[in-house]
């Protein structure tokens, strides 16, 4: 399953992601970038950042391994979008990479996974903060709070 959530209007923002995966076999992907919306949309058309998990291992968009996760044990990723075209990311509060090149503006988050949940809190400038209701996948059940942007 794939879910998109709009996060436009925040510059120099921090995106705080809490992820819980029911099993490690299927993997997951969380990305930020520009997306098409509406009838016939194709989802993210350009990607600014991307983090994925597979078999309990975490990778950035360049394929660099940086950590791991366990089934049903929530973990935290924090993305710092900086002025200009730079970004940094943290895993469970520890910096992994700093001042990476950001390929595109981040106006949408994309989360792809079966049997997983993601919550996102955005901290932006000036001193703005909001929590996104996101899609929660739990087995065959589907729980959603907030506005669904696209669901292919």
Query: How confident is the model over 16-27, as a mean pLDDT?
Result: 84
For 30-53, how does the pLDDT look when each residue is reduced to its tens digit (9 = 90+)?
A: 988 887 766 666 667 777 889 999
For 62-96, how does the pLDDT look when each residue is reduced to its tens digit (9 = 90+)?
A: 889 999 999 889 999 999 888 778 889 999 999 99
pLDDT for position 113: 83
pLDDT for position 41: 63
Q: Does residue 137 have a pLDDT over 50?
A: no
In the sheet that holds 65-68, the strands lie side by side as: 2-6, 108-112, 28-35, 44-54, 57-60, 65-68
pLDDT for position 107: 81
For 114-133, how does the pLDDT look when each residue is reduced to its tens digit (9 = 90+)?
A: 777 888 888 775 445 555 55
pLDDT for position 76: 94
**DSSP one-letter string for 111-150:** EE-SSEEEEEEEEETTTEEEEE--EEEETTEEEE-S----
pLDDT for position 106: 82
User: What is the DSSP secondary structure assignment for residue 90, as one 8-state letter?
Assistant: E
63: exposed, middle or buried (Cβ count in 10 Å: 0-12, 13-18, 19+): exposed
Which domains are seen in the chain, by residue range? 2-144 (2.60.120.200)
């Amino acid at each position: 399953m794939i879910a998109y959530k709009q996060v436009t209007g925040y510059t120099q923002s921090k995106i705080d992601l809490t992820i819980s995966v029911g099993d490690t076999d299927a993997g997951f992907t969380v990305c930020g970038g520009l997306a098409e919306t509406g009838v016939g949309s194709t989802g993210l058309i350009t990607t600014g950042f991307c983090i994925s998990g597979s078999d309990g291992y975490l990778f950035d968009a360049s394929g660099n391994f940086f950590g791991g996760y366990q089934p049903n044990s929530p973990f935290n990723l924090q993305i710092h979008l900086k002025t200009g075209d730079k970004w940094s990311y943290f895993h469970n509060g520890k910096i992994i990479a700093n001042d990476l090149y950001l390929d595109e503006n981040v106006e949408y988050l994309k989360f792809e996974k079966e049997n997983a949940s993601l919550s996102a809190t955005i901290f932006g400038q000036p001193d703005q903060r909001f929590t996104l209701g996101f899609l929660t996948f739990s087995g065959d059940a589907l729980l959603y709070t907030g506005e669904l942007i696209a669901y292919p």
